[in-house]
Structure 1
Amino acid sequence: MSFQWSLWKREAVGTLLLAGPLTVAQLLQMGMGFIDTVMAGRMGAAVLAAVGLGSSLWALMLLGCIGAVMAISPLVAHLNGAGDEAAIADEFHQGLWVAMLVGIVAVPITYGLAAMLPLLNVDPEIAPLASEYLKVSAWGMPGLCLYLAPRYLNEGLSNTKPVMLVQFLLLPLNVLGNYLFMYGGWGFPAMGAAGAALSTAIGLWLGAAMMFGYLRFGRRFQSLALFSHFHAPRSREIWRILKLGLPIAIAIILEVGMFSAVAVLMGTLGKVEMAAHQIALNYAGLMFMLPLSISQAITIRVGHAAGAGDVRLAVARGWLGVVLSGGIMALSATLLLLFPDVIVAFYTNDPEVTAMAISLLFAAALFQFSDGLQVAGSGALRGLKDTAVPMVINMVAYWAVGFPVAWLIGIYWGVGPQGLWGGLVVGLTLAALLLNTRLFLVGRKKVLHTQFSAT
């Protein structure tokens, strides 16, 4: 029993040490969005609304690129676990070709989103500003993907500190870029919303340069020979990476898309409801960074154990991550239930908004635990290279069940904001149940296969 406890304790510490820098990096990235919002707000409501709308649409492209390139992490983790250093450079090079392909394709798609704005009946004062935001930010997409490739190489090697350091350096540069391009500091033309996009795009290219500089001069990468010989693209390998990565991208977009669609429905109910929704969602988003980071750490550690041929350890690490993630979000839900008024007071002192936001925080408390379980289950399955079925699960949970329930209760039955959030609770809870059932089935199958092979 003491051995088992020491083993679980060691595994938990290893997971949390990997997740810590990722949490900080993601909070710093959210801080960049917060700074953009604050600085845009000083230029008037139209610029603020344009940055908000443009960044929301751009975020869908961002998440799609992240998901498609994220496949590098479990693939490298498997090779690292197997001790196959010679194959890591080739895997990285093929992943880099995928990243460049995804980044190039993302540019015209982002332009397409800008062209669609008139079809969304957006305020005519806001639409052209948001359109310019998207067109400028589109040119940062290749830089984003070139940043992601070395990031996920590092994560696959269980090295999560570089991404934290890069985000730490980019935060003040984003403030400087906004001052120069949004406000027209030091003689630059004031570009408003487009200036915020330009600052972000430049930051993405700088982040890519920093990550490649780290790979080139970091001593720990010398044995991998990443730059001694660059491997040409091979269609079969590129398709193998995309086959793993595209379902991740679609699954992420399906989940975030449900939240975006509910926000659109919320906007039809009134400004008080929308403000309360934003408060509750912002807090939930901040807390979600913790299980999200654990999920990414699980992918790495599960992939490493699976690559080393220790399937039992891989599955155990997956379930440990689920327990850690669920425990953290259970604590978050407890705080929501005990101190909702304290949390809302950080955001507003408007009595109407406060009352509505508190009621939504109670709904948020219900899905905190489910949210932690579903993202952890997803991360463990990625580590086992299982991404196609989780994509289908997200489609069913969020769009066949969650969103229709939100519309039915919130809009059709007229319950309002609490009904819309009830749909979120249902969608996330179903996703958590199905994804962790899938993890149980896949894990059991792999363990039984290993036992059969051994005999």
Structure 2
Amino acid sequence: MTNSRTLRHELARTLAIAAPLTLASLLSMGIAITDVLMMAWLGTAELAAGAAVSDFYSIVFYLGGGVIGALSALLAECRGAGREREVAGWIGQSFQLALLLTLPCALLISLSPRLLAQIGAEPAIVDAASDYAPMMALTCALLLLVRVWHQCFAAWEQTRVILGGMLLSLPLNALGNYGLMYGRWGLPEMGLAGIGLSSALCAAVLLVWLSLMAHRASWYRPVGRALLQVHRARLQKLLRLGLPIGMTSLGETGIFLLATLLIAGFGIDQLAAHTLTLRLAGVLYAVPLGLAQAATVRAGLALGAGDSGRMHRVLRVQLWLALLWGLPLALLLAGGRESLIIWLLPQAERGLPLFEIAAALLLLLAVAQPADSLATQTTGYLRGLQDTQRPMQLILVSHWLLAFPLALLLGYGAGLGAIGIWLGLGTGILLASTALLLRLRQQLKRPWVGTTLAAR
């Protein structure tokens, strides 16, 4: 097989993994948007409470789900090395870890109404949050278990199963929201708590769906026995690789949530422009995220096989995909941002502060796209090499120790407001991308064939 054929084969395998995961991420965003829109039907207090608890839930889940995120790399390595006998043990230990995480994660989410009360939220908001938070705590516990199966199907390149589950969840969530909010079809009228219960029920359906699909899969091995056996070395490795992934996700998410709080003090126009830019960034991020998960699996397979040529082919395809997404997207955003503002913010007219601020923020988002895509792909690839701790350190230093003080200096000290904050955030993305590429270069110089880079 010629080099061009092997590259085309690698590209096809990567896209076969990434495309369903990208669509599944977009469907997940669709579920979140549906929840927000239906919360607004209940009133402003319910909307505020739901948004606050959901943001807190996201922070907790990014951390907990990230800890389980090492499983796909470990399973891919087993596949590449032909060690399928180890699969059941890794899956069983991951379910044990997910079960251990459910209690602290659910407890943290359940305490979110108290946090709202402590920061002075209105009693109506705290009351609504008190009804909603327990349901989201249950949802988080179920989705941590879902996360294990998600990693398994990704590692075996069977991501259409994940997409199928999300296609099922989107209409079920909307129907469940409506029925439980208003007590339709014989269901109890629960208001905001009904939206939370609908989320929990959809998570349970998704868990059952993935469990049934796993049972039918050729790679499935019964995990019941493994669930009762504690393999300390495997559990330690899952934590050693997974905790940095969780901390990375938390760090990246946390800085943007904090940016929202900071920009809220600059006025309604700046907050609206920031919200538009952030939501658009979240949608665009679905593609690099799907590609990064594919990079983890493909790199893990090459690592397990001890095939250096395959490792470099995987890297070449991943970097080209990052640039092929990031560069055209940057040009489209930069050139079409004014039309986009008029479409998404009809109240924003040319010459008004809202329009001008949104145009500036979207330009900054456009400039950051190539670097952000490269950083995301590189992180996913390094996870496939089971290198998670140093990338975490590089990302946290870039965003929090370097970019965040710059954002404060530009936003407050220089009086640039939201534009200054985003200049700081963009600088963090550029710094992280550069540092991760240097880490990748360092790793590729090491002798790794037949072993694990992270262990060297």
Tell me which amino acid in the other structure corresponds to 1:374: A
- How is 1:43-442 mapped onto 2 (pairs within 5 angstroms)? 43-216=42-215, 218-221=216-219, 224-226=221-223, 232-351=229-348, 352=352, 353-442=354-443
Deviates more, 1:321-330 or 1:370-379: 321-330
Paired with 1:394 and 1:319, the residues of 2 have a C-alpha distance of: 22
Q: Give the superposition deviation at 1:184.
A: 2.5
Deviation at 1:135, TM superposition (A): 2.6
Whichever residue aligns with residue 59 of structure 1, its letter is S
CA deviation after TM superposition for structure 1 residue 228, in Å? 7.6
> What does the per-residue CA deviation read over 1:31-61, in whole Å, with 9 as the maximum and x for residues that have no partner?
0001111111222222222222221111111
Cα distance in 1 for partners of 2:369, 2:217 equals 41
- CA deviations 1:83-110 (Å, max 9, x no partner) are 1111111111111111111122211122
> d(CA) in 2 for partners of 1:418 and 1:58?
28
Partner of 1:453: none
Question: How many correspondences in the alignment?
Answer: 447
Q: Residue 380 of structure 1: CA displacement?
A: 0.6
How far is the alpha carbon of 1:128 from its aligned partner?
3.0
User: Per-residue deviation at 1:441?
Assistant: 0.6
Contact preservation (8 Å) 2:53, 2:112: no
CA-to-aligned-CA distance 1:363-387 (integer Å, 9 cap, x gap):
1111111110111111011000001
- Residue deviations 1:264-308, cap 9 Å, x none? 111111111111111111111111111110000000000011011
Q: Tell me the secondary structure at the aligned position of residue 186 of structure 1.
A: coil
Please list every run of at least 4 consecutive aligned residues from structure 1 whose deviation after the TM superposition is greater than 6 angstroms: none
Cα distance, 1:331 vs structure 2: 1.3
Cα gap change, 1:33/1:416 in structure 2, threshold over 3 Å: closer, same or farther?
same
Is this contact kept in 2: 1:367–1:424, CA < 8 A? no
Q: Secondary structure at the match of 2:284?
A: helix
Taking the aligned partners of 2:317 and 2:113, their CA distance within structure 1 comes to 43
1:318 partner letter: L
Q: 1:447 deviation in Å?
A: 5.0
Return the letter of the residue paired with 1:28. L
Answer with 413-422 or 117-126: which moved more. 117-126
Whether contact under 8 Å (2:57, 2:140) holds in the other structure is no
Q: Is the 8 A contact 2:308 2:449 kept in 1?
A: no
Distance 1:447 1:85, change over 3 A: closer
Paired residues of 1:32 and 1:171 also in contact (CA < 8 A): yes
Q: What is the aligned-residue identity percentage?
A: 30
Higher mean alpha-carbon deviation, 121-130 vs 263-272, is at 121-130
Deviations 1:147-166 (A, max 9, x none): 11111111111211111000
- Retained in 2: the 8 A contact 1:114–1:135? no
Counterpart for residue 454 of structure 2: none
Residue segments in structure 1 that go unaligned for 5+ positions in a row = 451-455
Q: CA RMSD in A?
A: 1.9
Change (3 A) 1:220 1:345: farther
Q: What secondary structure does 1:446 align onto?
A: coil
Normalised by the length of structure 2, the TM-score is 0.93
Q: Does structure 2 retain, via aligned residues, the 8 Å contact 1:292–1:375? A: yes
Find the aligned partners of 2:449 and 2:91 in 1 and give their Cα distance: 32
TM-score normalized by the length of structure 1:
0.93
SS at match of 2:344: coil
1:225-244 per-residue CA deviation (whole Å, 9 max, x = no partner) reads 55687551223321211111
